[in-house]
């Protein structure tokens, strides 16, 4: 690995770590500030890129805020659902309250107890269309 690749990996690991420590969804700017406060010299553009990479590899979930800003969170083992872009792999966490109800009802109708489910929706995201 050459030096620039090594540096990229190191910076991505730092972003991944900071994201794992963050509570809830955070923006690239917030994460950048946190990393800076801990003495990192990482640039905002690098944070953006690392977050996009993490979202594409499924390590992070993205969420679009009301004002159009992308927020990120480390993908957790808590039960949740994803909307995944087939082309670039961008992963967005989705609200699926209706799915929870529907899954429980279907299981109950058939006399099944303790139902669990795994549901991810695949499609093509706005920037890949
Ligand atoms: Zn997730
Ligand atoms: Zn896409
Ligand atoms: Zn669910």
Q: Which residues of 104-115 are buried (b: 16+ CB within 10 A; e: fewer)?
A: eeeeeeeeeeee
Report all structural domains of the chain as residue ranges with CATH numbers, in order of start.
1-76 (1.10.10.10), 79-129 (3.30.1490.190)
Question: Is residue 1 pLDDT above 70, yes or no?
Answer: no
55 close to 72: Cβ distance less than 8 angstroms: yes
**Highest mean pLDDT pick, 1-5, 84-88, 108-112, 123-127:** 108-112
94 C-alpha to center of ligand 3: Å? 10
122 close to 84: Cβ distance less than 8 angstroms: yes
Alpha-carbon span 69 to 58, nearest angstrom? 19
Counting ligands in written order, the one closest to the CA of 72 is: 1
pLDDT tens for each residue of 57-77: 888 998 887 788 889 999 877
Task: Compare 85 and 35 and report the one with higher pLDDT.
Answer: 35
Taking the model in full, what pTM does it have? 0.70
């Amino acid at each position: 690995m050459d030096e620039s690749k090594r540096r990229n990996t190191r910076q991505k690991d730092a972003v991944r770590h900071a994201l794992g420590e963050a509570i809830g969804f955070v923006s690239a700017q917030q994460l950048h500030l946190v990393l800076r406060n801990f003495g990192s010299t990482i640039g905002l553009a690098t944070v953006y890129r690392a977050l996009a990479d993490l979202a594409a590899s499924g390590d992070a979930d993205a969420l679009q805020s009301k004002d159009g800003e992308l927020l990120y969170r480390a993908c957790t083992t808590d039960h949740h659902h994803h909307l995944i872009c087939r082309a670039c792999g961008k992963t967005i966490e989705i609200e699926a309250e209706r799915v929870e109800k529907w899954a429980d009802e279907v299981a109950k109708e058939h006399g099944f107890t303790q139902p669990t489910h795994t549901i991810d929706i695949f499609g093509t995201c706005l920037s890949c269309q």
